[in-house]
Amino acid sequence: MTTKRPPDEVATAYDVWSEVYDTQANATRDLDAAILQGQDPSLFRGDVLEIGCGTGKNTEWLAPRARSLLALDASEKMLNRARERPGVQHVQFFLQDLRERWPVAEASRDTVTCNLVLEHIEELSFVFSEARRVLRPGGALFVCELHPFRQLQGKQAYFVDPDTGALQNVRSHLHEVSEYLNAAADAGFVLVRARDCRDPGAPRSEVPRLLALLWRRA
């Protein structure tokens, strides 16, 4: 007997958001894409797992670069958008609640990338331990998330509901800098590089928008 989780409120919100995710102005989305594309290209040449691919804004960029690409997301409507992207015919897409065991074999991936996802997941440790499990030794985990400072300022993922015109917040959890670092250390990752990311031209005195972290599996 299998028990099915009730529809998740985050996935449900992303189902609605999928209609306008790519068209509404979204500086966080744009900066995340720029940060990913600024990484050392060798990071994405192997067997890549993208968790929380959304409408595939990063999937489309990763697809021609990776030897293989598996993209997971909890929102069916987001996945439908992603599947329509050009050049993703060879990408495997799976509907997956990231809080449950991922459909990925142990030590089968060179890189896991996780972009603008973890603010919606309360328990970070499971995600880091799954990333550890599916990565080959020496494999990379790249995370780019809304900066904890921005979260403390009350910022979180939101969109304008295309039907009602109302601002819709997507359920988020405040994560501290230390939570990311400790979850990774506990799972057996060694930090390689960190970056406090601001919009192009923003001064250093501005609160960073994103925190990007790159680890290697020990």
The one among 95, 107, 160, 207 contacting a second copy by CB under 8 A = 207
Answer for the pair 64, 91: CB distance below 8 angstroms, yes or no: no
Please, what sign has the CA dihedral across residues 64, 27, 100, 19? negative
What are the helix (H) ranges across the chain?
A: 9-17, 27-37, 59-62, 76-83, 124-134, 148-152, 177-187
The one among 32, 204, 209, 217 contacting a second copy by CB under 8 A = 204
Question: Residue 92 has what DSSP assignment?
Answer: E
Interacting positions 163-192 with a second copy (CB under 8 A) = 174, 176-178, 181-182, 185, 190-192
> Candidates 23-31, 37-45, 107-115, 194-202 — which segment interacts with a second copy by CB under 8 A?
194-202
| Beta-bridge mates of residue 72 | 51, 94
Under rule CB under 8 A, residue 20 binds a second copy: no
> Candidates 68-76, 103-111, 114-122, 202-210 — which segment interacts with a second copy by CB under 8 A?
202-210
Q: Report the Cα–Cα distance between both ends of the chain, in Å, rounded.
A: 38
Interacting positions 97-156 with a second copy (CB under 8 A) = 148-149, 152
Contact residues: a second copy, CB under 8 A: 148-149, 152, 174, 176-178, 181-182, 185, 190-196, 204-208, 211
